[in-house]
Structure 1
């Protein structure tokens, strides 16, 4: 007689995180994707001022940029569950408040202050999801599999971000058109209450909770300032600069052709290619190193942007954005993968929110500057801005490769 023993099942991230985790974490990002565009649409409709709408969006981004890493640090210190429940509840109440106050005679300064508070309390679902999954991988996976699983996870997370940021503005447009301008903001508040709360209370949060000895054993704050920790964050800032310059200059390009409202749809072409290639990163061989991926795909983005000033048709712009999108997804995945690999002990949520805030800061600042360039110097000048932003991403990739080699 032969006795056979069942082979132990390989560890699976889906099983470790829970089957319900991924749909909940995906939908919980939607309020953030709807919020900035929703607030802009609401303020322009209620106050009749595009400049005030742009300033309100910028204040939302500024609040998130300043307080996002602090929320990440709080999650590393006190656990994600507590931080998400407090931030999510406060954010939902503030969204409902601005949906009401913007239609009252309250001063513009009060609207701007409220927008800043909305940004400051923005639940950092995407960075905290990355931090949560990296924590589970490090705790439950054998050392030999960790790096590949982390890269695959960052690929999925970046694709999820792309999907949400393509569909978020579309949902805002549908709600604002079919119901009223306040509907997207109220809808974002309702989604946050339900799905951010579900994300906070999900059993996976307990697996990512820091144990008392882990809190005491966290790496000091100064380790967050190491060059190899800061370069992925600087790269994410460059990506934010690219997103802001690209969308704003594209809006000016479409406005010249009399269809500014279609800018979001054309911009979505970049998101499609980006999401597809972000997922494909998990299939890249190990010998195609993270540093080489950053240089390769950021160079592709830069090369794609060089064609922008010479395009004069919407079809040509679509093709160009599809090509650029092929480089965007893998570059973002690589930056997050490098950040995860270099995160100081016990600082995962902080580092991930640093990258997320970098994208937001870059996007907000670039949108404002590119908008002013388009208005004063024209669309041709504005279309040079994405080239400069792509050059920043590539230059930071070169700096990172040199620092890594020296280290």
Structure 2
């Protein structure tokens, strides 16, 4: 892989993920700090997520048709401009409606480097690597990509907490704007953006968009949506909990603890035995999420939150790896970018919506109820895991029936 990508690709692709990972949390932190309302902050972050889910599939489809460079360069630059303007909009006292509109536009122009990186890696493995090495390389590459995603989704809020605590609440968004200008553009212009499109893939027929909406793909979209609910409800409930103790800016630092075990276990998925099938991994790690999130809801001390966040990370990282690995295997022909952006968009939308819901519940009902939301989200991850098993068994039955019919039919017609 490195022979085809170069040593600089993976660091650039990782840093290019950070603006996307910092957007929802940065908007939440800035608006909450400026307005004093967790509910308004949650609505602003939800606007980001809605923008992402509206534009994400469109951007993915455009990339599948026109290539990553053509689409990502202008999208990344526009996104950087909007991020740079957002602190001015919030701190100048503009109406809440204007804040929500600009937040939505930030989501619409989100470049989604993570989905594009996966699409590049899948194409390079498929088109450039020897068939004997594709299977093992694909498993390890997807583990790395998911670990990078998980690390970015945790490091992003962690950086937001650091910059907000030690500089100012507007600093995370301003830094995300700078990263978008520099690293998203560098990622878009990297040679792999061209290398990922081989002559074979250019001439291969592209599946219709309806193929992306098949049950075997939509169950994965549901899984990432549930993981997004888990991320958003955890962060916002944690923010509300710490805000009630006068340390709201430290929430991002505590949230970063979840990434320690999460990133490590996400990388460790690559060495799990092949007989531990992806469908069973989903169920096992979702169960870890549900049990630890239940403990998170029951605690009322910061020390208890620290322990439960560490354990929660042991489940969510591998679960995310598993779902995206399945997506890499199930992407319809010529639709890898569309599929990956659809999953990434559903994750971000859910993160934003759950942030809004958790913020509203924490402010108008109670913080303990908000702390229970991650357990419900983890349970939903488990439900989609069960549905995935059902979808796989249905597909297996259909495949067996078609194969059996193709064998028997010629004999029957001959008689």
Structure 1 contact 79–208 (Cα < 8 Å) conserved: no
Structure 2 contact 39–356 (Cα < 8 Å) conserved: no
Residue 384 of structure 2 aligns with which residue?
A: 396
Residue 330 of structure 1 aligns with which residue?
A: 318
Residue 39 in 1 paired to residue 39 in 2? no
Question: Kindly tell me: are residues 201 and 232 of structure 1, through their superposed partners in 2, closer, same or farther at Cα, counting changes over 3 Å?
Answer: same
Question: Kindly tell me: are residues 323 and 346 of structure 1, through their superposed partners in 2, closer, same or farther at Cα, counting changes over 3 Å?
Answer: same
- Rounded to whole Å, the distance in 2 between the matches of 1:46 and 1:304 is 33
Structure 1 contact 278–330 (Cα < 8 Å) conserved: yes
What's the offset of the Cα at 1:30? 1.6
- Rounded to whole Å, the distance in 2 between the matches of 1:30 and 1:349 is 19
2:51 to 54, 63, 66: 63
- Rounded to whole Å, the distance in 2 between the matches of 1:213 and 1:315 is 52
Give me the TM-score of the superposition, normalised by structure 2.
0.89
- Rounded to whole Å, the distance in 2 between the matches of 1:375 and 1:101 is 24
What's the offset of the Cα at 1:326? 1.0
What RMSD, in angstroms, separates the aligned Cα atoms of the two structures? 2.1
Q: How many residues are treated as equivalent by the alignment?
A: 395
Residue 6 of structure 1 aligns with which residue?
A: none
Structure 1 contact 80–209 (Cα < 8 Å) conserved: no
Residue 26 of structure 1 aligns with which residue?
A: 14
- Rounded to whole Å, the distance in 2 between the matches of 1:287 and 1:335 is 17
Residue 196 of structure 1 aligns with which residue?
A: 184
What's the offset of the Cα at 1:352? 0.5
* Secondary structure of the structure 1 residue equivalent to 2:334: coil
State which drifts further: 119-128 or 179-188: 179-188
Structure 2 contact 26–160 (Cα < 8 Å) conserved: yes
What's the offset of the Cα at 1:313? 2.5
* Secondary structure of the structure 2 residue equivalent to 1:384: helix
Structure 1 contact 247–267 (Cα < 8 Å) conserved: yes
1:286 to 274, 278, 281: 274
Residue 314 in 1 paired to residue 302 in 2? yes
Residue 340 of structure 1 aligns with which residue?
A: 328
Residue 133 of structure 1 aligns with which residue?
A: 121
Structure 1 contact 270–322 (Cα < 8 Å) conserved: yes
What's the offset of the Cα at 1:373? 2.2
Give me the TM-score of the superposition, normalised by structure 1.
0.90
Q: Deviations over 1:303-346 (max 9, x none)?
A: 22232333233222222222221111111001000011010000
- Rounded to whole Å, the distance in 2 between the matches of 1:148 and 1:395 is 29
Question: Kindly tell me: are residues 305 and 208 of structure 1, through their superposed partners in 2, closer, same or farther at Cα, counting changes over 3 Å?
Answer: same
Structure 2 contact 39–363 (Cα < 8 Å) conserved: no
